[in-house]
Amino acid sequence: STVLSNTCIMNGVKRQSSSSDTWLTNPKASAGMAAWFERLKKSYTRNFVYSEEPVFVHMSNIRRSGDVSMHSLPFQDFLEDDCRFLLFLLAMNDNLLMGDIKSDPNVKLCWNMPKTKEHFYLKGKFYIASAPIQVTRFPPPKIVDSDVSAVDYWEAERSKQWKQLDKRTRATFTWPASREAPKSDNIAFSCLSLDALPSEPVKGKPEPLKIVHDIAMDNFCLLIFKISAVEHFDYSMFPAKRTVSKGNFFNESSSMYLIKGKCFCRYTRSKAAIARSWKPTLNHVTSLNSSFSLILTATFPRTFPLCSLSISI
């Protein structure tokens, strides 16, 4: 088990240890913990938990048009009550991402762990926990071990994660939709820092600030990913090791891959988006649809740009 200090950093926020930090030392949480999650959490700790840089996970699925979608999702947290759920940030006005999820909530994620030379390919389904006044498809399911209703549980979790965001990230939920060109930058991006105000008005707090806060929080959604299968590639050894976890998450199979040349990849002709392995010196995600149309992406952690290339074969 990996023991973390009382203070750590997640998603650029310095904070006291939260539920996600105590997973590996919490007897109640670890009692039914799957082996794949222990590997994922241990790898996350080694790669990101003390970094001030945001953590991105790459998502791919198939749009209604048959084109391949590609998004870099800001990772927020692990869910304390069920290790199968990962939490990401989503803005209600992000029409492109919201549309791609509505097209097909069944997706594949690629999570690169650069320091430990690992890749995790996660198969599962997205759910959306939005503000009560918003109406969205794919509401998240009820947590099995919780006596609270699904609506109340996820609204409490959404409020909890909202308070854990840093001021600058919170302010981005007042901004225009992603990829939208605003008419006036000064107005559209006037809010650059936003405190987490309590739900009830506080005496002395300016009312306009409360209005801005409520607008931002209503725009804030949790994008919830429920994992159904995990493919883990460990390139720290030679030959590289591949471990597949699916079904009840305790049935695992491992195989050794001999990596020759600069990269190794396998393609499957499938309507679902497929993520396969590339040499881990770069963070690549490869997706393939039935027409053999590919989309390749690479991220560069130090400068944060995302590059993509679409080709046909």
> Domain segments of the chain: what residues?
7-162+222-312
- pLDDT of the residue at 185: 65
CA pair distance 35, 39, nearest whole angstrom: 6
Of 106-110, 148-152, 183-187, 239-243, give the lowest mean pLDDT range: 183-187
How is residue 58 written in tokens?
């790459």
Burial class (CB in 10 A: 0-12, 13-18, 19+), 268: exposed
Gyration radius of the chain's alpha carbons:
20
SS3 (DSSP) at 5: coil
Of 179-193, 248-262, 272-286, give the lowest mean pLDDT range: 272-286
Summarize pLDDT for 227-278 with one digit per residue, the tens.
999 999 999 998 999 999 986 544 556 655 544 333 333 333 333 333 333 3
**What are the φ/ψ torsions at residue 45 (nearest 5 degrees)?**
-60, -45
Of 2-11, 57-66, 89-98, give the lowest mean pLDDT range: 2-11
Band the pLDDT of 163: cuts 50, 70, 90.
very high
Q: Is residue 11 scored above 80 in pLDDT?
A: no
Q: Please give the CATH superfamily to which domain 7-162+222-312 belongs.
A: Electron Transport, Fmn-binding Protein; Chain A (2.30.110.10)
Of 69-73, 81-85, 127-131, 182-186, give the lowest mean pLDDT range: 182-186
Band the pLDDT of 13: cuts 50, 70, 90.
very low
The pTM of the whole model exceeds 0.85: no
| SS3 track for 176-235 | CCCCCCCCCHHHHCCCCCCCCCCCCCCCCCCHHHHHHHHHHHHHEEEEEEEEEEEEEEEC
Q: Kindly report the number of other CB atoms within 10 A of residue 53's CB atom.
A: 12
SS3 (DSSP) at 112: strand
CA pair distance 129, 127, nearest whole angstrom: 7
